[in-house]
Amino acid sequence: MKIGIWLMTRENKKSEIEIVAKVEHARHCANFIKENETFVFDIDGKLLPEKSTANLCLGMLARIQPALMIAKERVASGLDPLPVTIPYLDCFDTGIDFGGMGKVTVKLFTQKAS
């Protein structure tokens, strides 16, 4: 069963959904975040450090936070948490080419809570 279909079924509780931000691209990150590391959140937007593998980065978390709010609202409305319009997010750092330190890009997706 596809995750979107699974999320729509009435018997599933919102606590069974996690939002994952997987690092797809990382260059010169000051926090040493590497590709394929993850930030894992519950549907209320709380970071789950025991399930996350990426180093903490406030700039990245600040970019993810609005998407987490959207996901929570969409689940409450019975919709798939992540609309197709926000699959990728990047950190606030402008990148080394523009005077910053580096750049990290994450891909958002949902998974069943384990």
Q: Has residue 2 got a pLDDT over 60?
A: no
Given this model, what pLDDT does residue 49 score?
Answer: 96
- What pLDDT, in 10s, does the model give residues 65-106? 999 999 999 988 988 898 877 789 998 877 777 777 888 999
Q: How far apart are CA 114 and CA 17, in angstroms?
A: 9
What's the pTM value of the predicted model, to 2 decimals? 0.82
* Long-range Cβ pairs for the range 79-85 (8 Å, 24+): 79/8, 80/4, 80/7, 80/8, 80/110, 81/7, 81/17, 81/19, 81/43, 81/110, 82/19, 82/108, 82/109, 82/110
Q: Has residue 109 got a pLDDT over 50?
A: yes
Given this model, what pLDDT does residue 93 score?
Answer: 79
For residue 38, list its beta bridge partners.
Answer: 22
Q: How far apart are CA 25 and CA 49, in angstroms?
A: 21
Given this model, what pLDDT does residue 11 score?
Answer: 43
Q: What is the mean pLDDT of residues 59-63?
A: 93
Residue extents of the structural domains in the chain: 3-9+17-112
